[in-house]
Structure 1
């Protein structure tokens, strides 16, 4: 379905992505892990065509994505939606308008200027928000929402594009563990229910193992691991992170799951705090 062939990106004398070749034969939930500067974000930006490749090519269902220009490139960027770590919402606009921005590639300039959208698109945006559990916030400004809620708005905006692929660049890096779990559960459900390919850049091994069907490890721009979550051993993690024998997976953990069972009073307190966050 998706082929990446010898993809390379240079910035001056620096090589951010170095001769990467990957094949994705069917829709899957894919995690890309590695330390900061490994080339994960640059790889996703090349897939979405936000960044051009220095060499190599990307093929999707027989079309060379790296050669697309103009409207064809915009259509691809709708088909291959991008979700960012910092949400990239318009803070002072209401939530539903932010979601409707997912249709801008097919709106006229005049409609965009005056924030005019077909009723069918408005209803669909609200349906998507309802699916993600935040329809009650549709009329609020985006800046009034919590970080986890804003990231779900960004996911809703991506779904408005009706993409075949969703790329998520560190979608939980700026979230607390509770909201990180909600966002990852949401992305996993979209893959399971819609059959869309989801590709996430992640820092954490526990998240990759829990949510992904396939894990790709990058180091210094190269792919150094490509396998199932079960194959992601401590030795493989040391290779990905360039770490020695003292490497501890706890340094990459999001602590989404707590190992201890809380007391009833602590559980009630945690529930109240969670309800306040969501």
Structure 2
């Protein structure tokens, strides 16, 4: 389904991603872990073609993504939605309009200029917001929402593209533990219910183990681990993070230890209901 062969990105003399090879045969939820600067974000940006590729190839369902240009490249970016750490919403615009921006790739210049949307698209946007548990916020400005709610708006915008792959670049890095779990649960449900491939950059080992079918570990631009979550041992984590025997997984944990667990369950139930 997805073949990445010897993918490399260089910035001058620095190599951000070094000959990465990944084969994915079916839709999966994949976590990419590693310390800051390991090349995780650059890898996803090359997949989405936001970054030019120095060497290597990307092939998705017999489409050579790494060679696409112009309209073909934009069509791929519609099929490969991107979710960012900082949400990338329009703060003063209402939530439903932010979600509708996921249709910009297929709208005319005139309709974009006057902010005109088909009724069916508006209804679909609200349905997606309802699926993510935030439909009641549709008329509010995006800036009025919490960080976790804004990230779910960003996920809704991605779903409006009806993509084949969703790439999430550190989607929970700026969220508190409860909202982080809500967002990861939403991404997991999208994978399971829609059959979409989800690839998420993550800092935390417990999150990767809990939500992902497969984990890829990167260190200094190279893939040093590619396996099942249960194969991600503490020793392997030390290798990925370049840490010594003092390394503790608690330093990367997103487990909720200090908040009311009943409140966390209630928040998750609202999303999964």
Q: Please tell me the TM-score bracket, short chain as reference.
A: over 0.9
Q: 1:189-212, CA deviations, whole angstroms, 9 ceiling, x for partnerless residues? A: 000100000000000000000000
**Aligned match of 1:159:** 159
Displacement of 1:179 after TM fit? 0.3
Q: Which moved more, 1:243-252 or 1:83-92?
A: 243-252
Counterparts of 1:1-278 in structure 2, within 5 Å, are 1-256=1-256, 258=257, 270=263
Structure 1 residues without counterparts, runs of 5 or longer: none
> What is the CA–CA distance in structure 2 between the aligned matches of 1:97 and 1:115, rounded to whole Å?
9
Residue correspondences, number: 269
Question: Does the Cα contact within 8 Å between 2:84 and 2:168 map onto a contact in 1?
Answer: yes
Could you say what the CA RMSD is over the residues aligned between the two structures, in angstroms? 1.8
Q: 1:117-158, CA deviations, whole angstroms, 9 ceiling, x for partnerless residues? A: 111111110110011111100000000000000000000000
Flag the 1:271–1:39 CA change in 2: closer, same or farther, 3 A. closer
Q: 1:32-60, CA deviations, whole angstroms, 9 ceiling, x for partnerless residues? A: 00000000000000000000110001000
Displacement of 1:175 after TM fit? 0.2
What stretches of structure 1 move > 3 A for 4+ residues in a row?
270-275
Displacement of 1:255 after TM fit? 2.0
Secondary structure in 1 matching 2:198 = strand
Structure 2 residues without counterparts, runs of 5 or longer: none
Displacement of 1:61 after TM fit? 0.7
Question: Does the Cα contact within 8 Å between 2:178 and 2:264 map onto a contact in 1?
Answer: no
> What is the CA–CA distance in structure 1 between the aligned matches of 2:77 and 2:267, rounded to whole Å?
35
> What is the CA–CA distance in structure 2 between the aligned matches of 1:20 and 1:75, rounded to whole Å?
24
Flag the 1:234–1:71 CA change in 2: closer, same or farther, 3 A. same
Displacement of 1:272 after TM fit? 12
